[in-house]
Every structure is written in structure tokens, then in C-alpha cells.
Structure 1
């Protein structure tokens, strides 16, 4: 490159090396983050436990392609590998769990969902069900989750029926939900709030919720908790953009009284969302140098957002 008549930078002949070009040939280089859809396609027919059976046979990177119809799952599907599950359209493919959870992401697991409907109609009539969860305690590896163009309906057979709940000591490096529709949920949609011992750990690094519709949700759309005063982390980083919330967060069991509750989040970008008849956005600054941006949001019959800066508050953070 020439700048002001001087040659600067590396020569054009210098190229980046691939992993295979470095180190001894006999040493196998590990792929630390296997891409979704890097394996083979597996066709799955509708029926009882057909997804469970297909997941058992699948390998890392495989894609389960669901045929048109209904899928009744009588077992909790444990995700212990990198998997993608997709249908042709949410109107053509419906998955109905009959246990307290549909998917459980465990060690070495990562999950991508696309173009299906998840319905809680056949779930057990019990409080505290969850459509998707991680191991309840002590995951040894991080995980990823992506979801695009999915319908989530009738998650209300009993109270506190959540869509996604992260367990203690679980950590999502990347969690993204886009172009999806959530309707009638008696619990929370995304709960990343299990690290209550305030040691500076948290359940998600990057959270992206964009271009979705949320209707009639008793709990919160998002609960993110990063406690403690340790400043050695850069997250959580949260983006919520171009979403529509209608009647979200007013359930009597929503202790935070918020549609979105962010505690200790380091980077927040909430932009171009529409809030209608929903609980307010509640943000608490507790550690580090948090960067919070709220822009171009509309609030109809919804209280304005609340930002509490415990970093400058006289009495400090009264964490709950």
C-alpha cells in the first residue's frame, strides 16, 4: 500500500496461513467451534419420538430436515452435539413435547432451529415446564443457540411455563433469535438469571433478539443477571431491536415487574422496538463501565424505561 508516496504495510505476497499449514503434520488440529450445517442432511418423518430417534443417530454438524406434519415427542431430547433442525415452514411442521422439556442442551451441544412451530399444547399439566433448557447445573462446555422463523404458541398449560431457561453454570457464547413469533406464554421467554451468588459470572455473552413478535407473555421477555463487582469480563452484551411486544410482563408471578430486566449488563442496545400494554424496561448498572443505548422505541400504555445506576447511588447496589 502506498501512502503519501511511501510504501507501508505488508507486501501483497504475504497471505494468512490456515491451520493445516502450521505445526507438525502428525498433530491433529481441533475445531473448537464446529459450524452449524457442516455435516450431512437427515430426513425425518412425522410421528412419535421421530426427532428423538434422529438426534440419537445424528453426528456433529448434521441437519435434521423435518417433513410436513406433527411430531409428538414423549422423551426429553438431549442435545449433546452440534445440531440443526429445520422444516419447510412453521405452518407445515409442528413439534409437540409431552414432557417437562422438549430440548435439553448439554455438554458439547449447540442447537439451531428454523421454520417450525413449537406448541405446548400436549405438555404435562404442571407448573415450571420449559420448552428448551440447558442442564440444570454444572455444564462443562459453552454452547450456542440460534433460532429463525419459528412460531412458539400455547405455552400456558399451567403457570410458569418458560420458553428458554439457562441453568446455573451454563454459558452461551452466542444466543440469537430472529424473525419469530411468540404467543401465549405463562412464564418467561428468555431466562439467563441463575448466577445469583454474585461472583462476576453470568449465563450469556452475546444475546441478539431481533425482528420478533411477543404477545400475551405473563413473565418477562428477557431476564439477564450478572452479579458481583469483578470487572474482568466484557459481557453480557445484549441487543434487542425491531421487536413488537404486546401485553408482556404483567403476570402476578413476574417478580421483577419488567418486560426486560438487565442487571449488570455491560453493553445494551435496545432500539426500534414497539411496546404496547407491557411492563417497563428495567436496567441496573452495577459494575464496570456499562454502555446503554435506548433509541427509537415506542411505548403505548407502557411506563418509560427505568435505568438505575448503582455505581453512583449513595447506598450501592441492593442486589436481589
Structure 2
């Protein structure tokens, strides 16, 4: 029998428990849309609304209110890194002095045109608001060209800082400052200490990481400060940052292995100072591109940048006389001073000079810069008369050719290497300026957030487990079904590996023959394709033979095909030491067949044979809208044999005249093309057709008894090298439809040639 010590009313007990709980709970804790909306409706200056830990799906936040500078209205995560917005979620804010902190967007995409918007309607904008320590991680729709922004700034005096944005793969700017209304111009926004993570090649216009303004409002001033942000492998298009308004300031930003440039596309009186560019020798890494009037480019550090033309280390453009808003305004009254360029490939002036862009730079100066390249040689190129630029006090190291004698001094340069990786040229005004700006330099440690892991967004092969398989039916299919990213599926014996099901690749996998086999394993298949590369997938194939003998007697078979639907992820394909034979059971049998809105970062064929194929080996031609979109960034063919190929052995197409992208780039070396292109279904009548490619290298190759090699190079100023190659058996070169006369004999192109189309072939056109 229990003894009752005291009697406490039940309601009092519940009230006491509620009090105890509330004392330990965060201020204004909410855990549902209804609770959040109620808290927003009642929010007063100084209130803190805390979103409880958890995952919120299809969660659209509309946060409005009026705080003060001393007492903003805050929306914060209960714990940073533990509040996730997924599915079709977004954030819109408007009002005065609103502060948002600690949210993570992942596993979904915005239902509107913006993930984070500094407005809730066209009329309701943000002023004096701040978003800090938020994350947007691979928050993309499934359609590659479904366009959206991740962040859009409107209003005035807003700040976006210490955020982490990574993995944008669809069309649209990562962060845009919008100037469409008077209430968003002369905004004095501050964008600082953000980490902009990897952005893969888009293969189209609209792949900028940051854009301020548009051509429609480029004559307006934005007065935005972009300070101490880190740009990591931002490769979406040629403009990493696209400045399209006036009086903006870019300072202290770091660009790491990013292919493209900080571009003053439109707008006047822009300042670019104390920024740091580290190319590390990566192709197409660029620096600063100058267009328009009264630009100031000072105290910047640029090292090992490999880009040329629009993406050279320092580019000064030619303009269009009386230019419309969306073209190129002449460079006038601008200066590039006290910059340090170390081991860069190109400084180019008057870039874009053509019949339209004929307005040369005027009343501008390039002075007190340090140009150092250990290998010496030619750094500077001019595409027009540059007498409108004054050169003074520039230093070059011995062996490096100055642009001209006046304004350049050749002398030995000593450097001090700092822990940051920056090399300070001693006893120079430029070196002193770089040293003074080091404290502004963005690093991975002082940007982004500390509580969320940095995501590796590039696709890699290897690093997984080895799965050994024997010959037999569907053994490869079974191994792939049970694999993980980076696994290696090793074929342990010679014999036939028959697949009655297509091997579906949703992550990178390697299929390779075991070492020491006396014969190559033979891959046969009965479906339309052997391998299907789906979104997120990638394929390495090594040491095998692919035979078409088991395929069904119907057209349009392929050994490898991409998803039939838009792929938001770029893929990689590597074929090495393989044989492909007798892919001829019906017409148009390809080795690779791609679909529209798919993009390969790289396709590499090495040490392989392709024989008796009714279709094409590589048909990268599905982007037929001719608006600058294409299917592969890098195509590399080395030491391969192509024999008896019915249609084009290699077909690469990029149509239109858009200059925003960097590719395609094609390299064909040490390879033989024999009896190529004779099938009546070969629509182009070529053995190899390269349409709109930006870089072409053909070296040490043989073209015999084949249809012409066709070059249709209409975009930009493509670099073309055809050297040490033999054209025989009636094979010719056609340039933009005009034949180059090979006289029907063997032609060894050891010297540069000029095709009938007037384009020099066999030399680097950027020189």
C-alpha cells in the first residue's frame, strides 16, 4: 500500500512540465509550415524564429517583416547542418532587416525560378537584409535546360555572405543581382566570403556563376561589392563572373582552376583589384576580360593560366562602333596597372577584331605590371592596331618577348613565396601592391560554412572494390547491378560474355580484362545497346573485344548509348586497348549514340581498333537547334585504327554563333582512317566532320580512300593544327564547304596550309 505524500492537481503538473520543457527549447521553435507561417505573421523587431532540426519536403518559405538595424527579425536553424529543405522547396524574403541563417537545400529543386529570392513579389523587395551560412548543394531539376537561379538579389543594401553553393548543373546563373526595377539599382549589395563550388561545363550560354545585371539595364549602376569569395572549378561557361552594370567592385576574390574569366561584359567604371587567379596549368583557365569604358584593373595576381582569346590571362576586347546594348562597347579610358602575371600563356589585345568589332581601344593604359614566364617566348598578341593603349613601366623577365620596346623593361625578377602560394616579385610596385592586398584573399578556410562537408562534384573512376566475373550470360549485368561508384568489374577469363539485358550505368564503373589473358574477352549483346549511360553514370572499358554478331537485325543499334532523356550530370567515357568489329547486322550501327541534352566532359579513345561498322564510331550531333549547345567538351583519339566505317567515323556538331562556351575541343593523333564514309546514309559525305569546334588538333594521321575531312569552323577564332598527316586515295580536306586541293596524291602536311575558305590550317590561330 502506497502512502500519498502530497496532492498536486493534474493541470498544475502539466503546466510545470511545459515550463521545464520551454526553458530548454530554443526561442520561437517551429517544426511545421503552419507554425512557421504563424510565427512570421506575428514577428516583431528582435524576434528569432527557430526552425527545428529535421527534413522538410516541398517547404516554401515566404518570410516578410520589418525589423531594425539593432533588432532584425531572424529565421535560424535550430542546429546548423541539421535543418534540410528538400523536394520542391525555396525561400523568399522581403521587407527590412531580415536575417536568415543555417538552412540547407538539397535533394530537389525550386518550384519557382529561384531557390533563394530577395523578394516575395515584383513589388515587395528586400532592403538591409542578410542571408548567411546557408547551403545549396546540387539542387537541380532533371532537365538540363530547365533554367533557374539559385540566388537572386533584389532591393538595396542586402548582404549574402559565408554561404556554400555547389553543384549547379542546369542552365541559369548561380547568383544573380537583378536590376529590372528602380528599387534594385544603385543597390550597394555586398556579396562576400562565399564558397562557390564546382560547376561543370554546361555546353551552352547561361552557365555563369555570378552575374550582376543584364544587357537591358547595363547603363545603370549597381554599386555591388563582390569581396573575398572563393571560386572553385567554376567551369560553366567562358564568363565565370559576368559584370553587366556599372560601378561594381570586385576585390579579394580567389579563382582556383576555373575555366573562364572575370568579365566586364557591360557597364562602366568597374573596379577589379587584389583578386587572385590560380590556373595550375589547367586548360582554358583565364583571368580578366576588359570591355567598355573607365575600367580599373589593378593589383591582381594571375598564375599559370592557360586560356586564350576570350579567356586569356588578360584580355582587352575590340568593340562595335555605336554598339547596341547587347554587343561590345569600345574600351576607352581604362587602365591595367600593378598586376602580376606568372607563367601564363596569353595576354591578348584587340580580341574579337572582325568586320563588326572594329573599334580599337582608346585612351587606355597598361603600366607597371610584372609579366614573368620562365620559358620565355611570346606572351602578347594583338589582333588590331593598339596605338590607343599607352604602355609604361612594365617589367618582363629576360627571354620573354615584350609587346613593344616602349613601356617595357627586361630584367631579372626575384620572388618571395608566401604560405598562401602567392609569389611576390621583389622590388616592384606591383609586388608591393599584391602584398598589401593579401589580407583580403579568399581561401577555403575563410569562406563558406564550417559545419557542412565540401562536396566533390567531379566524376572519378576507380577507388572502389574489384568485382571479378567469369564468361557467361549476363555476368556483367549482374555485377553492375550490385556495384558502387568507382568499382572495377574485372573479366577474369577469355570467352564470350553475352548480355541479354543492357548494362545500366548510374555511377562511374570500369570494365577491364584481367592481366595475362592470351585473348581478349568478347562482349556480345542482344538488346539495342550493350551499355546505357544514365544520369550520373560513366564508363571505362579496357582490354576487351566487342562483337555485333548476337545483335538483332534492326537499324540503330549501338554499343554504348546515353540516356534518351536530358542528363543533368556530365559523364566521362574512356575506351582503351579495345577492338570493335562486325557492328554491321543492319544499317546505322554506332559505337556511341548520344541523345539531345546530354554532355560528356571527356570522350577518350586510345589504342583501339574499329572495323566493319555500318554507322559511326562517335556521333556527337544531336544538338541541332544551332544555338551554341553541343554534346561533348573534349574528344581525344590517339593511336586508333578506323577501317571500313559506313558513316562518319567522328562527327562533332556545335551550331550557331554563340561565343559563351569553350568547346568542343578535338584531338586526333597517331591514327589511321581507311575506307571511311562510303555508306549511302552518310548525310554529311565526310569521313570526319568537325562543325563549330573551338580547338582541333590532327597530327601524325593517315586518311586513305575515304570521304573528305570536313571542317566547318564558324564560331569565334578556332585554333586548328593539322600536321604531319597523309591524305591519299582521293581523300581531301574541305573547309566550310570549299575543298583544299590535295591533288589526289599523298599530302604530308608538315607546313601550315591555307584552305580555300581562307582559314589558316596547321598553325595556332591565336598567335
- Number of the residue aligned with 1:228: 656
Counterparts of 1:19 and 1:61, CA distance in 2:
26
Q: Does 1:239 align with 2:664?
A: no
- Number of the residue aligned with 2:194: none
Q: Does 1:121 align with 2:573?
A: no
- Number of the residue aligned with 2:489: 64
- Number of the residue aligned with 1:83: 509
Change (3 A) 1:59 1:90: farther
Counterparts of 2:413 and 2:554, CA distance in 1:
73
Q: Deviation of residue 140 (structure 1)?
A: 1.3
Q: Deviation of residue 23 (structure 1)?
A: 5.9
- Number of the residue aligned with 2:210: none
- Number of the residue aligned with 2:451: 26
- Where 1:159 maps in the other structure, the secondary structure is coil
- Number of the residue aligned with 1:37: 462
TM-score, length basis structure 1:
0.91
Q: Deviation of residue 275 (structure 1)?
A: 1.2
- Where 2:736 maps in the other structure, the secondary structure is strand
- Where 1:51 maps in the other structure, the secondary structure is helix
Q: Deviation of residue 240 (structure 1)?
A: 0.7
Counterparts of 1:147 and 1:22, CA distance in 2:
39
Q: Deviation of residue 299 (structure 1)?
A: 1.4
Change (3 A) 1:247 1:18: farther
Unaligned runs of 5+ in 2: 1-396, 398-410, 423-441, 739-755, 758-767
Q: Deviation of residue 29 (structure 1)?
A: 1.6
Counterparts of 1:148 and 1:18, CA distance in 2:
38
- Where 1:91 maps in the other structure, the secondary structure is coil
Q: Deviation of residue 302 (structure 1)?
A: 3.0
Counterparts of 2:487 and 2:728, CA distance in 1:
44
Counterparts of 1:129 and 1:309, CA distance in 2:
30
- Please tell me whether the aligned partners of residues 710 and 737 of structure 2 are also in contact (alpha carbons under 8 angstroms): no
- Where 2:564 maps in the other structure, the secondary structure is coil
* Residue correspondence of structure 1 range 227-306 to structure 2 within 5 A: 227-306=655-734
Counterparts of 1:24 and 1:234, CA distance in 2:
31
Counterparts of 1:127 and 1:90, CA distance in 2:
34
Change (3 A) 1:8 1:132: same
- Where 1:235 maps in the other structure, the secondary structure is coil
Change (3 A) 1:309 1:249: closer
- Where 1:141 maps in the other structure, the secondary structure is coil
- Please tell me whether the aligned partners of residues 563 and 595 of structure 2 are also in contact (alpha carbons under 8 angstroms): yes
Q: Does 1:143 align with 2:550?
A: no
- Please tell me whether the aligned partners of residues 654 and 692 of structure 2 are also in contact (alpha carbons under 8 angstroms): yes
Give CA-to-partner distance per residue, 1:113-139, whole Å, 9 cap, x none: 100111111001101111111012311
- Please tell me whether the aligned partners of residues 459 and 572 of structure 2 are also in contact (alpha carbons under 8 angstroms): no
TM-score, length basis structure 2:
0.39
RMSD: 2.5
Q: Deviation of residue 44 (structure 1)?
A: 1.0
- Please tell me whether the aligned partners of residues 459 and 571 of structure 2 are also in contact (alpha carbons under 8 angstroms): no
Change (3 A) 1:147 1:21: farther
Q: Does 1:8 align with 2:436?
A: no
- Number of the residue aligned with 1:317: none
